[in-house]
Copies of this chain bind each other. A is one copy, B any other.
């Protein structure tokens, strides 16, 4: 391995350490987010509120797309991300019902 490759390996390792730390933030933040959506699911069930709220969802997509642009991400990614999260939220609500 030449000097350049060695340097590349060190830089790669540093990036991976950052990625691992960021993943811990992401997983814990998702845990916190799901604790709120679980509470929302319970609240809605107890008060006979409709499970989905299209206006709220529309606002969330708009807001997340704006945040994505600010964070140098594709705004399309924000929509994909919200769908991914909502899929899991629906799974939790089904588990709560059982």
Residues of A within 8 A of B (CB): 4-5, 8, 11-12, 15-16, 18-20, 22-37, 39-40, 43-44, 46-47, 49, 56, 60, 63-64, 67-68, 70-73, 77-78, 80-81, 84, 88
A35 to B71, CA, bound (A): 10
In the complex formed, the residue of B with least CB distance to A77 is B88
Contact B11 A36 (CB under 8 A): no
Contact B12 A49 (CB under 8 A): yes
Contact A81 B36 (CB under 8 A): no
The 9 closest A-B pairs by CB, nearest first: A31-B71, A8-B47, A27-B67, A22-B33, A15-B36, A28-B71, A15-B40, A25-B29, A18-B36
* Known contacts A27-B71, A28-B71, A64-B27, A36 near B22 by CB under 8 Å: yes
